[in-house]
Every structure is written in C-alpha cells, then in structure tokens.
Structure 1
C-alpha cells in the first residue's frame, strides 16, 4: 500500500490525500513560480499577469483585446483592468479599431518596447530557479500542455 494511502498512525485509509492530487502539485508549483517572479518583476513595476500581457505584445504588437485574452485564457473583465493599468504606466495604448468600433486594439508604446530589454533577464533567472535543464522544462511543459488540452476537451 502506498504511503499516501495510510493514516498518520499507519492504518489503511481510503483518502483522498492531498499528496495524490496532481492539481495541487501544479497549483503549489504555480505559487512557487509566483514567489520567484515577484521580485524580478517588481524591478520593472509589473505584476505577473501584467508581465504576461507584455510578453504577448512583445511577441506581436498591435493585437486586439480579444486576441490577447484568447492567448492568455482571460476574459475581458479580467484583462481590461490589467490593460488600463499598463496604459496608465505608459507601456501601451488602447484604441477602438477604425473598421469595427466594437474591437479595441492594443499597441506598445516606445516605453513598453524598451521594457523588454529589462525583461530579458527574467527567463534565465526562472530557469536557474527551477534547477532543471531546458530540455527537462520543455518536456514538462509539453506534458502540462497536453494535460490542459485533455481537461479542456473533457469540459467541453
């Protein structure tokens, strides 16, 4: 019988046990990632969600709010306050699309583009903090991505 299937005093138990939850392992790893990211991003004045928005824009400027939300799996009610804050910080602009006023386009400012230079150190710091090789992390990421896709498919 696995250790996790025993009560503290050694007698069998039918669980559930937190140590058996893959979701908790991923959740707690996410919290640990955030603790590593926090001081790195604080130097740039960004939160982790703001950093993710900036990364999406650094990958491809001039995106729609909907397009950013789709990439980050965020709805507009969560994304809009992030964008407003980043706009207030001078990193991006938001403007209605000239062809369709329902669409809001997001573009980096020169300050937002320049922030990328400061952010270049972040991935290396995160890699070092994981204690894993790049190949190990890519393999893990691939497995987690497959898990996410399977869960999304199961949820409809």
Structure 2
C-alpha cells in the first residue's frame, strides 16, 4: 500500500501540471501527451480550431513575404535616378549662386577699394600657416584606431 502511494506521488511529481490536470487524459493522468483534436471527438468546425488555423495562416503570411516582380525594381531604379538628378540640379544651382555672390563681392572690392582688397588678400595669405597647424593638431578619427 505504501509503495503504491509513493509511486503515485513520484509519478505525479514528475509529470507537468498541464498533463496531470488535463481532462482528456483520464482520471489518473496516465497519458504523456494530450490527444489529437480529431481523435477526441472534436469536430473540424470547433471555434478554437478555426481561430487557431486562421492565426497560423496569418503567421505563415508574415513569415514568407512575397518577392516583388521585375517591374517593381525597374520603377525603383527610375525613381532613384530621378531623385539623384534632382539633387544634382539643386547642388549645382546652389554652387553657381554662391560662386556668383563671391565673384560679385570680389569685383566690388577690387574695383571700388583696392586698398581693402589688398588687406583681405594679405590676411588670407597670413592665415594659411595657422590653418594648416590647426588641421594637423586636430585628432583624426578613423575606423582603424
């Protein structure tokens, strides 16, 4: 009697709670796995079965994305080229406007006040060594350091 009681306690301690308390497993919980839904008398129209199948179908659709066709990639290339061209035109326009402004100031200073022009030029030439030493002293950050 005591041996049988000990065996039951050992068996119930080893089995997971879900298997021991599952109603389909019988009174003693002797089955290690729950029964297959089709074998227990459940119909295929079971609401839980339908819900489970629909959710699994959703997961399948999410895990296996559709590969777009060739026309999609062609459109992507065309749009990329169009965007690249638009940026090039914008950058060139800014460059030419800046150059025009600088040359206008240069011409105005040169023709209007030659003394001021010479002072600016001498200041720029004198600043070159300071700019070079500052650039060499600055710590260079690279991916290899």
TM bucket (normalised to shorter chain) is: under 0.3
TM-score by length of 2: 0.24
Structure ranking higher on relative contact order (CA contacts 8 Å, 6+ apart): 1
Q: Looking at CA atoms only, which structure, 1 or 2, has the larger radius of gyration?
A: 2
TM-score by length of 1: 0.22
Select the structure that is richer in strand: 1
Select the structure that is richer in helix: 2
